[in-house]
Chain A
């Protein structure tokens, strides 16, 4: 078609509804009336014309409505009383709404209107969680953790106890894009995955996409976890915190200028090291005393925001977190630390009622360092990845049937891979190694949310991404489409397709996600990873035993290409030729997820089940192949995953929570046999050699665990006497692993020995047998936390 005719056709197509009836635009920002926090995903609905929309990530909404017609606009959001306004539009109108907290809804999560929005929306394969739910559910050692709770949703298995990785729909642990206020967080974990880096008191919203990725997201294949920090109460000074057995936290927020600017500061720190230091000090000088190692972590979230007039808003936020492990004695000085630093500067600008923009500059730094000094010798190993990103997004309400989103981003990456320095103090011995890279990643996207008919909504878009590094340039087109067909008011069908490209990769030869894993760029040899994912499913709202429940059922199929693995026996440590150890192949994953939610009444919660199968193979590289290119299951190929989550309001004072999870055991690569070499010339080690068959053929025992908690509200009598009393507190008792299930962290084969004698009568240790043993991490773990807010 001739370009001019094409443009004319598109203009007519998009304008046709505008010509049919005069319309004006209602726009504004929806906030929490008490704190001034913008509300993400708040629903705006006009029943008379069956038109609706939701607020974007910045609390902004824009909707085209008929002119000169009395309309009732309903605003709703989880946990808030619905708000209604009667309007008659005679021109574009700005209407900001401050939502009031529902008196009867304050303690109960109600999702009725958001269910309607889910039934209407083209979004699928997405999970969200509120901080209220997180605080009701059991927590490890009293630390509520939003990232741990989201893993209770179907399709999001974790790597297991003591590990940090997320393996979403068959994807690897590096295939998750985790952003905090739009800055990438490369390692979102403290203490090897026991806790995440997200302080629940500072988080406003968390959304996890497992598929159907909107075009504004790119750079990872398998999931997007978008975490938004609170902005700070711009009405009054307030705070919250908690004292636990291993850590404490405090959040302070308030206006800088009421209704115009505010701040929030939220920090956490463990204090186990303060106790161990005192113990070590007391034991100084004791013979054969071995000092207890030091460990602590801290994180700090800070944010300030300024309303620069009616159309502009500026936000500045930062995250600083670190884990520090140390061990010192007279001869040994060992340190191991890792952590993230992120900062974000964001400017929102409203050009007009139909056009809103967000421009962000972010900085992100993740690094770890291991150092050791012994007498006369020192050693230091560190790796880091550092990003600077500039992006801009536009949100345009084209007409009542079309909402456009478009934008661009550019990220500069700096990689330091395995920088090693070792040597003697006198300089006689020295060794160094490591590599440094940099690269630039680009993204350009456009999408349209199109209401094709009252029943059919389609979101179609395209993302163009690229990466350049040292003269090598890659690019990829990423089509994205999602559709929603509303069969009835309580049943809808959905489908989506998304192609993703990934240009940075996690180097890990372990089956776990550890802080020492290293990020590596695409290079001439290492091509970008690619995925294509199709998902279909449906949602239904219905009554079960007289109670309203929401059912979601999805099926997905994902193809993975240019996957990276390692040649058997790969040497990753201080290897300047790391790429030679890589092999490249492909894979696929498919499965189904079903979830049943109940959000009304005293008992709320959900049951989720996931079935999935994952295969990877066809791996070849510079040094050879893996299993002659045959396909195999990765360690995280868990066939079944079940989670049962319940929250029960016993009465005004007591609330209980419980979670039970079950998962098929991870796969393990254990030796199937053993053999003996005769003395190998030049060798001075045992001649017994384990022989391994195909990768990952042993399945560990199933993983299951029950966690319980009880929340006891304090000071209720005082509150009744003085309803304006601001201080609220509770005691939370948590028990993790309530029936003391010893889940396998890993299994190994251990040789048993007995004393015997050799031919000359000398005492030696003789092997008598081999036993399979499992190592497990979590015993039953109780915890007590005092929480407060004012």
Chain B
């Protein structure tokens, strides 16, 4: 629950309420462009759609005829449209850490959309250790195994502003690091909240996200739990460390908050807007340096 007290109050009020359809005049919707763009050390891709009236339940129309390019100083990289994946893509562009890149999208009738980002450096990992932490039998056919991951970072290299940690198995249960103030956690219960200073390890729900502030912590431990059936077992795990920005954390946590918002109380809160770094449009241009490390499970 995003806002427990508001949820409680409105639930009480709504016990007495009634609902009925209504028609009332609203201004006509002016279509805009919505962008989801990603760029990492292997290239860039842009997914582009048009907004619809909120009462129109059709599929958002894909936009295939825009002019999309990425600029870096005097260098220009066009992103042609690939109908197979319905995205604008380029693998010619290899972004360099510390350099600035501008995404420009032009389409007649929509003006020019623009977003500027700086490519962050990669997360330098010196060592990763995994050990079995706990096991619980859920029932006769399934078990829950908890693994302790210990990451040691290499201090010699420049750290990104933030980095996000994910694994291919899904959710985490807790994080313990040597500097508790440097973690941003976004959970279903407490989206976009800094952990209390006396709370370590930090408890998370499954599918929470957490970002670590770069350059502050050289050692991180986190516990992830996985449910396995009788015939299942993971021999390897992929750990992805994505160097990123505070903007992306705000974007991701606003998505979580918007998803969590209960329709019944959303009306009285100012609506939860998805954070955007796109001028003249909606969406997000994400730039990251992604490092994926495969490790054998113990």
Contacts and interface: CB of A to CB of B under 8 A. Distances in A.
B199 A775 contact: no
B12 interface: yes
Interface stretch (B47-55, B150-158, B221-229): B47-55
Interface string A769-786: 111111111010000000
A742 interface: yes
Contacts of B15: 293
A572 interface: yes
A746 B268 contact: yes
B75 to A, nearest CB: 26
A765 interface: no
A516 B273 contact: no
Most buried by B among A509, A689, A772: A689
A701 B22 contact: yes
B267 A746 contact: yes
Nearest to A428: B203
A295 B34 CA distance: 47
A131 to B, nearest CB: 29
A680 interface: yes
B254 interface: yes
B271 A697 contact: no
A341 B203 CA distance: 38
Q: For this complex, into which size category does the number of interface residues on chain A fall?
A: 35 or more
Interface in A547-574: 566, 568-574
Contact of B194 (A577, A750, A767, A777): A577
B20 A773 contact: yes
Contacts of A570: 270
Interface in B194-235: 194, 196, 198-199, 203, 207, 209
B227 to A, nearest CB: 15
A772 B19 contact: no
A773 B87 CA distance: 36
A684 B207 contact: yes
A686 B259 contact: yes
Nearest to A433: B196
Contact of B54 (A325, A575, A673): A673
Nearest to A379: B4
B52 A573 contact: no
Contacts of B53: 672-674
Interface in A372-403: 379, 381
A726 to B, nearest CB: 40
A573 B54 contact: no
B29 A676 contact: no
A770 B267 contact: no
Interface stretch (B56-64, B130-138, B140-148): B56-64
Given A675-B51, A745-B17, A746-B267, A571 B192 contact: yes
A571 B193 contact: yes
A334 to B, nearest CB: 8
B16 A748 contact: no
A370 B267 contact: no
A767 B57 CA distance: 7
Contacts of A745: 13, 17
A488 interface: no
B214 to A, nearest CB: 18
A747 interface: yes
A616 B150 CA distance: 51
A476 interface: no
A500 to B, nearest CB: 26
B16 A747 contact: no
Contacts, number: 212
Given A509-B270, A692-B271, A381 B4 contact: yes
B18 A776 contact: yes
A772 B17 contact: no
Contacts of A788: none
Contacts of B2: 573
A744 to B, nearest CB: 7
B269 A749 contact: no
B18 A675 contact: no
Interface string A675-705: 1111011111110111110010110110000
Contacts of B259: 685-686
Contact of B22 (A511, A669, A678, A773): A773
Nearest to A770: B55
B258 interface: yes
Given A673-B31, A682-B209, A692-B273, A748 B267 contact: yes
A430 interface: yes
B190 interface: yes
A750 B263 contact: yes
Given A510-B268, A684-B207, A370 B8 contact: yes
Contacts of A672: 26-27, 29-30, 53-54
Contact of B270 (A568, A690, A748): A568
A617 interface: no
Contacts of B41: none
A431 interface: yes
Given A576-B194, A747-B22, A674 B60 contact: yes
Nearest to A673: B51
B219 to A, nearest CB: 22
B16 A677 contact: no
B32 interface: yes
B202 to A, nearest CB: 9
B268 A568 contact: no
A742 B196 contact: no
A511 B31 CA distance: 28
Interface string A426-438: 0001111100000
B120 interface: no
A691 B282 contact: yes
A700 B25 CA distance: 9
B270 A770 contact: no
B266 interface: yes
B263 A677 contact: no
B274 interface: yes
B23 interface: yes
Contact of B52 (A675, A684, A747): A675
A192 interface: yes
B29 A689 contact: no
Contact of B36 (A432, A678, A701): A678
Contacts of A681: 38
Interface in A653-685: 668-678, 680-685
Contacts of A568: 270-273
B14 interface: yes
A182 to B, nearest CB: 30
B260 to A, nearest CB: 9
Contact of A673 (B4, B17, B52, B268): B52
A325 B11 CA distance: 12
B119 interface: no
B159 interface: no
A784 B153 CA distance: 74
A641 B147 CA distance: 64
A-B complex: 6 closest residue pairs judged by Cβ atoms: A675-B34, A746-B267, A516-B5, A676-B60, A673-B51, A510-B268
Given A672-B27, A690-B271, A774-B21, 5 more contacts: A370-B4, A511-B270, A673-B30, A775-B18, A776-B19
20 contacts: A192-B9, A334-B8, A336-B8, A433-B196, A568-B273, A569-B273, A573-B2, A669-B271, A675-B32, A675-B49, A675-B52, A678-B47, A680-B255, A685-B255, A700-B24, A745-B13, A747-B267, A774-B20, A774-B22, A777-B13
Interface of B: 2-6, 8-9, 12-24, 26-27, 29-32, 34, 36, 38, 47, 49-57, 59-60, 87, 164, 166, 190-194, 196, 198-199, 203, 207, 209, 252, 254-259, 263-264, 266-275, 282-283
